[in-house]
Structure 1
Amino acid sequence: MPMPRRPAPQQLELFTRPSDADPVPAPHWQTLPEEARVTLTELMTRLLLDHAAGAQAPRRTEARHEA
């Protein structure tokens, strides 16, 4: 007996027209916490700079949580 398929996860659509129906509305930038906005801005800046520099692989910087 075949296994039932899992439903596809919802993904935010970045390039829709405002008139398009969006089942999962994106949060408004101003409603995000300040820390989230700062982090996202830093990540997007790094992504754009790495892309402009022609980086093949993104830099991996992970927070280390040492107990």
Structure 2
Amino acid sequence: MPRQFMTNQFDLFSGLRNGKMAEMPQWQELPEGTRQALTALIVRLLVDHASGASASQQKEADHDA
């Protein structure tokens, strides 16, 4: 039987703050610079995934040069 994860990554540390669940901010509430940075990171992740490369492989290759 496949393992099912019951916790979202965003919730991992919410128990450390008075037992309250941290609320995920809405995209529109994030500062413009943060939205641009996240968009660029997500695009890079998707392009790297589509090309079959992982970030760790690229980072290691940069150190070899």
TM-score w.r.t. length of structure 2: 0.55
Report the counterpart of residue 17 of structure 1 in structure 2. Answer: none
Report the counterpart of residue 40 of structure 1 in structure 2. Answer: 38
Query: How do 1:14-29 and structure 2 match up within 5 A?
Result: 23-29=21-27
> How far does the alpha carbon of each residue in 1:26-46 deviate from its partner, in whole angstroms, 9 at most, with x for none?
101000000000000000000
Q: How many pairs are equivalent?
A: 42
CA distance in 2, matches of 1:12, 1:36: 17
Report the counterpart of residue 54 of structure 1 in structure 2. Answer: 52
Q: Which runs of 4+ in 1 moved over 6 A?
A: none
Structure 1: stretches of 5+ with no match in the other structure: 1-10, 14-21, 61-67
Identity, % of aligned positions: 46
Larger Rg: 1
Higher relative contact order (CA 8 A, sep 6+): 1
**Higher helix fraction (1 or 2):** 2
TM-score w.r.t. length of structure 1: 0.53
- Taking only aligned residues, the RMSD between alpha carbons, in angstroms, comes to 2.4
Structure 2: stretches of 5+ with no match in the other structure: 1-8, 12-19, 60-65
